[in-house]
Copies of this chain bind each other. A is one copy, B any other.
Amino acid sequence: MAVIATKDTRLVVQGITGREGTFHALRNRDYGTNVVAGVTPGRAGQDVEGIPVFDSVADAVDKQGANTSLVIVPPRFAAEAILEAADAGVEQIICITEGIPAHDMLEVYHYIRPRGIRLLGPNCPGALSPGIANIGIIPAEVFKPGPIGLVSRSGTLTYQIGGELAAKGLGNSTIIGIGGDPVIGTSFIDALDLFQADDQTEYIVMVGEIGGNEEEKAAEVIAERITKPVVSYIAGFEAPPGKTMGHAGAIISGSAGTAAAKKEALEAKGVPVGTNPTEAAQIVADLVAKG
Contact = CB atoms under 8 A, between A and B. Distances in A.
Interface residues of A, number: 2
Number of identical protomers: 2
Interface in A130-173: none
Contacts of A115: 114
Chain A's interface: helix, strand, loop or mixed, by majority?
helix
A114 B114 CA distance: 5
Nearest to A112: B114
Contacts of A114: 114-115
A117 to B, nearest CB: 10
A118 to B, nearest CB: 15
A115 B110 CA distance: 11
A109 to B, nearest CB: 13
Interface in A98-139: 114-115
Nearest to A113: B114
A88 B133 CA distance: 42
A115 B116 CA distance: 10
Interface string A240-251: 000000000000
A273 to B, nearest CB: 35
Interface in A188-207: none
Nearest to A115: B114
2 contacts: A114-B114, A114-B115
Interface of A: 114-115
Q: Which 2 A-B pairs have the closest CB atoms?
A: A114-B114, A114-B115
